[in-house]
Structure 1
Amino acid sequence: MIRNFFRHIGESLKNMKRNGWMTVAAVSSVMITLVLVGAFLSVIMNVSKLASGIENNVRIVAFTNLDIHDQSQKIVDPKDNAKQIENPNYKKIYDQISKVADIKTIKFSSREEQLKQLTETIPTYKLFKGDANPLYDAYIIEASTPGKVQSVAKNVGQISGINKVNYGGSNTKQIFAFAKAIRLWGLGGAILLLLVAIFLIQNTIRITIMSRQREIQIMRLVGAKNGYIRWPFFLEGAWVGLLGSIVPSVLMAWVYRVAFISFAPTLHTQQLTMYTPSEFIPMIVGIMVVIGVLIGSFGALLSMRRFLKI
């Protein structure tokens, strides 16, 4: 059994060498197809990751009324501005928010912190100081799941002392719909492209087998079983797929590194990330090698069916 297996491997390599140009044609077909498959999968996988990042970065911002100082233990005495008193409503709003269901995290952002962040982006806001600060204290809330954002925002908005709640509204719904569409259509597109790849490679390998139809007939005349005839062609198809995946793998590794270096800094400023080269390249290379070997070997088996019928 093992001896026959190694014999079939040797036969498959000899056949590839013997059918030089046909082998080159088959390998080239696999190569071109895998470049398209790799490029498509790279885009879909990273767009899906970015969509998930956008989806998961949706935050609820609850702005408090101007006269509310929820995080201040002491406040100015309304009767005497020179005197400070204990804040009777200290963390009252925070406690009510924390009781709302489906909340993951709550972070307080004072109007001063928001103004500082805003002036770093828009210098003209440096004009607003002290009482001229037009911003509100706010609680930045993260829901337990993206699907709970709307309900959490609605419940927080009903709390006394909350001026308004911002979570993106219809834009958030569009983001969720976009993320869902990317996953659905991306999966469908990948499957369709793989079917096209199998069809193209199967036909290319079929041409190489047709050129050796006489060889197959002779093997059958001397009593060779179908399984014995299939093995060299099966292994030859696997070799074709493996060889055809080398150049696309190297190309994808190089292109992805360049793309990551170009886009990563911009995406980082928006708290979004692509797959890092160290995690993505082994994954995409592995996928392309497996796809190449599978469609090459099984493409050979499918192409041989008509020649092995009695």
Structure 2
Amino acid sequence: MKRKACMVMKVSTFKYFVKEGFSSIWTNRIMSLASIGIVVACLIIFGMFMLFSTNINFIGGQIKDQWEIKAFIDESIPIEQVDEIGAKIKNIRYVRECVLETKEQALENYKKQLGEDAHVLEGFEKHNPLRHSYIINLSDIQYADQVVQQLGTIPGIVKVKNHRETVEKLLKITEFIRMGSLWVMILLAFIAVFIISNTIKLAVFARRKEINIMKFVGATDWFIRWPFIVEGIVIGLIGALLSLVLVGYGYNYILKLIYQSINIFKLREFSEVFEGLALIFIVIGTSIGAIGSAISIRKYLRV
């Protein structure tokens, strides 16, 4: 019987906390809107940096996957021996894939790259100056120098094209940007907590007399604190959901503009990162609201 009465009391107390929290938001709606606006602003900046960092990592992975070595074959070698060279290349350790690009295919590829200016290559079909070549992908680019050395020992290969240094520089740049974005996101999180706690502190200050009265009539610190924490959680949740919608629309718009002008690398679709981003936004938003409320009310509980 006592347990049942205790359960009823807990449910009614929880309802009271929630009711008071929502009531406080409406009563102090101007301050609540200001707090929501700050949460939205901070999470939008945070979200855009996070999406930027995610795409930097994604592009870095594509650079590794698209990186290749090109081995050019002596034009005097008959096509039958070209296939034998390909078999030798495939036997080299760390070679993941080896694809023959004939000189006819190479010419067509150059025409595609030139686009509207492809007419400058007209007439080269009969006297094609290009060579057959093998496009080689490795399982790990750190062994590129070793593979290039072994390619140089295969008879019939006259030139090896290797862009390892360029790729490594690009990867270093992406890693630098990724780490920079991470520190910016951490800094933004601290700034958000500071701003929210000070904004909510203004609302708590306006209700300091009410808090003092509750303390004098015997209310516990947590009984007084919970409605404010609920208020902060609701403000953070609303801010998180609004910012998620705005970031989604903004990101899709920016993605559309990027694809219209640049289409070298594929970027993450918003649908691919939505679940993870939504979870992070909700956790950060509600945490900021709850922590900000708890910090703000602490001073006025010392009566």
For the criterion TM > 0.5, the same-fold answer is yes
The alpha-carbon distance between structure 1 residues 18 and 192, as it changes in their structure 2 partners (threshold 3 A), is same
Query: Could you say which structure has the higher helix fraction?
Result: 2
* Residue in 1 that maps onto 2:299: 306
* Residue in 1 that maps onto 2:269: 276
Aligned 8 A contact 1:267 1:273 in 2: no
The alpha-carbon distance between structure 1 residues 262 and 283, as it changes in their structure 2 partners (threshold 3 A), is farther
Q: Which moved more, 1:50-59 or 1:292-301?
A: 50-59
Deviations 1:161-219 (CA, angstroms, capped at 9, x unpaired): 22222221431221121122122222222112222222211221222222222222222
Aligned 8 A contact 2:21 2:230 in 1: yes
Deviation of 1:9 after TM superposition, in Å, equals: 0.7
What amino acid is the match of 1:296?
G
Deviation of 1:110 after TM superposition, in Å, equals: 0.8
What amino acid is the match of 2:87?
D
Q: Determine whether 1:119 maps to 2:111.
A: yes
Q: Determine whether 1:98 maps to 2:94.
A: no
The alpha-carbon distance between structure 1 residues 158 and 293, as it changes in their structure 2 partners (threshold 3 A), is farther
What are the within-5 Å matches in structure 2 for residues 104-143 of structure 1?
Answer: 104-120=96-112, 121=114, 122-130=118-126, 132-143=127-138
* Residue in 2 that maps onto 1:207: 202
Pick the aligned partner of 2:216 from 206, 221, 230. 221
2: CA distance, partners of 1:106 / 1:266: 32
Q: In angstroms, what is the RMSD of aligned CA positions?
A: 2.3
The alpha-carbon distance between structure 1 residues 280 and 119, as it changes in their structure 2 partners (threshold 3 A), is same
Aligned 8 A contact 2:99 2:136 in 1: yes
Q: Which moved more, 1:51-60 or 1:198-207?
A: 51-60
> Counterpart of 1:136 in 2: which secondary structure?
coil
Deviations 1:277-296 (CA, angstroms, capped at 9, x unpaired): 32234543443233211211
2: CA distance, partners of 1:55 / 1:309: 59
* Residue in 2 that maps onto 1:46: 55
TM superposition score normalised by structure 1? 0.84
Pick the aligned partner of 2:245 from 246, 250, 255. 250
Q: Determine whether 1:22 maps to 2:31.
A: yes
* Residue in 1 that maps onto 2:66: 57
Deviation of 1:11 after TM superposition, in Å, equals: 1.0
Aligned 8 A contact 1:106 1:139 in 2: yes
> Counterpart of 1:129 in 2: which secondary structure?
coil
Q: Give the aligned length.
A: 290
Q: Determine whether 1:13 maps to 2:6.
A: no
> Counterpart of 1:223 in 2: which secondary structure?
coil
> Counterpart of 2:155 in 1: which secondary structure?
coil
1: CA distance, partners of 2:172 / 2:231: 45
Q: Which segments of 5 or more consecutive residues in structure 1 lack a partner in the other structure?
A: 74-88
2: CA distance, partners of 1:165 / 1:265: 34
Aligned 8 A contact 1:48 1:182 in 2: no
What amino acid is the match of 1:300?
S
> Counterpart of 2:122 in 1: which secondary structure?
helix
> Counterpart of 1:91 in 2: which secondary structure?
helix
* Residue in 1 that maps onto 2:4: none
* Residue in 1 that maps onto 2:256: 261
> Counterpart of 2:96 in 1: which secondary structure?
strand
The alpha-carbon distance between structure 1 residues 294 and 153, as it changes in their structure 2 partners (threshold 3 A), is farther
2: CA distance, partners of 1:308 / 1:92: 84
The alpha-carbon distance between structure 1 residues 145 and 266, as it changes in their structure 2 partners (threshold 3 A), is farther
Aligned 8 A contact 1:55 1:179 in 2: no
Q: Which segments of 5 or more consecutive residues in structure 2 lack a partner in the other structure?
A: 1-9
> Counterpart of 2:136 in 1: which secondary structure?
strand
> Counterpart of 2:67 in 1: which secondary structure?
coil
The alpha-carbon distance between structure 1 residues 223 and 158, as it changes in their structure 2 partners (threshold 3 A), is farther
The alpha-carbon distance between structure 1 residues 267 and 281, as it changes in their structure 2 partners (threshold 3 A), is farther
